[in-house]
Structure 1
Amino acid sequence: MEKKKVLAIASVGGHWIELLRLKPFFDEYNTVYISTKVSCKDMVGESKFYHVTDFNRWNKAKMIGTIFKMVCIFLRERPSIVISTGAAPGLIGLLIGKILFAKTIWIDSIANVEELSLSGKIATKFADKVFVQWPDLTNEKIQYIGNVL
C-alpha cells in the first residue's frame, strides 16, 4: 500500500526548527517540505522540498505569488495531510489543504507562552487539529500533548 503524503510547511527560523523536530514522526509517510529559505532543502535528506517566498501581515503583496506557487505545489503533490508550525505561509498552506480536502494540523510555536499567535488564532477557525506547546493555552478546540522542543 502506498504511504500517505504529508506536506510539512514552516517559515525559516524557529518555526522550521520545530517542524524538523517532528521529522521522526514523518518517516512512515511520504513527506514533502515547503519553507521560505532555499538552504532548508539540505535539512530534509532525500525528501522533496519546495521554496516559497516569505510574507507576513506587513508585506501582503508577496502573498499573492506565494499563494499561486503553493496552489501549484498542492495540485502536483496532492497531500492527504498538511501540517505547519507557522507562520503566514504555513497558515496559507493549511487553508489550501483544507480547500483540497486534506486533513490539516497546526502546531503553534513554543514561543507563544501567553496566547496563540495570530496565525494560530486563525487556524483554530478551520484546521482539523490545533496543538499548543503550553497546557495553559488549551480550550475545546486546542489540544496540548507535549512540546516539540
Structure 2
Amino acid sequence: MKKRILAIASGGGHFVQLLRLRPAFEGHEVHFATVHPESRAEVGDAPFHSFRDVSRADWWRLPLTTLDILALLIRVRPQVIITTGALPPLIALALARPFGVRTLWVDSIANSETLSGSGKLARKLASQVVTQWPGLAAPGVAHWGSVL
C-alpha cells in the first residue's frame, strides 16, 4: 500500500544520509524537507519543503522552527516520518506522535561510539530508532545492519 512519507533532516550530512535512503522509498509518495532551500535540486521532481534551522547553540529560534514544522506536517499529513536527525526532525516526531504517525529515526553514521544527543531523545518519541553500529544497539535502539 502506497504511503505518504515525510523524509526530513537538518542540513549537511544529515540530509545527505537521508538521500541515501531513497531506494527504500520507491513506490511511495515522498516529501523531502530540510533547512536549505537550495537542496531542492537534489530531490528532482519530488515534493520539497524547507524550514528554519535550530540547534542547541541557537535555541531561541525553537518557537519559529516549531511553527515551520507544524505547518509542514499540516500541509503534508504524513503517514510515516523518516529522519536521520537532528533537532528540527525531533520536533516533527514530537508533534506527530499524538496523531499516531509512524516514525523512524536513523541515527547518524558518524556516531560510532555513542548515540547522538537527539537520537537519545528520539528513543522516547520515535516508533523505531535504528543505529548503524552494532555496539550501540540497546533497549529502544535497534541495529538492522548497514542501513546507509
TM over 0.5: yes
Give unpaired runs (5+ residues) of structure 1. Answer: none
The DSSP-based 3-state class of the residue aligned with 1:28 is coil
Q: Which residue of 2 aligns with 1:72?
A: 71
More helix by share: 2
AA of the residue aligned to 2:90: L
Q: Which residue of 2 aligns with 1:29?
A: 28
Is the Cα contact below 8 Å between 1:104 and 1:129 reproduced in 2?
Answer: yes
Is the Cα contact below 8 Å between 1:15 and 1:109 reproduced in 2?
Answer: yes
Q: Which residue of 1 aligns with 2:53?
A: 54
Is the Cα contact below 8 Å between 1:33 and 1:49 reproduced in 2?
Answer: yes
Aligned length: 148
Deviations 1:67-99 (A, max 9, x none): 111111111211000111011111111112213
The Cα of 1:140 is off from its aligned counterpart by 2.2
The Cα of 1:106 is off from its aligned counterpart by 0.4
Give unpaired runs (5+ residues) of structure 2. Answer: none
Deviations 1:34-60 (A, max 9, x none): 101011111111111111111101211
Identical-residue share of aligned pairs (%): 39
The Cα of 1:100 is off from its aligned counterpart by 2.5
Q: TM-score, normalising length from structure 1? A: 0.94
1 CA distance for matches of 2:26 and 2:116? Answer: 28
Q: TM-score, normalising length from structure 2? A: 0.95
The equivalences for 1:1-149 within 5 A come to 3-149=2-148
RMSD: 1.2
User: Which runs of structure 1 show a deviation greater than 3 angstroms over 4 or more consecutive aligned residues?
Assistant: none
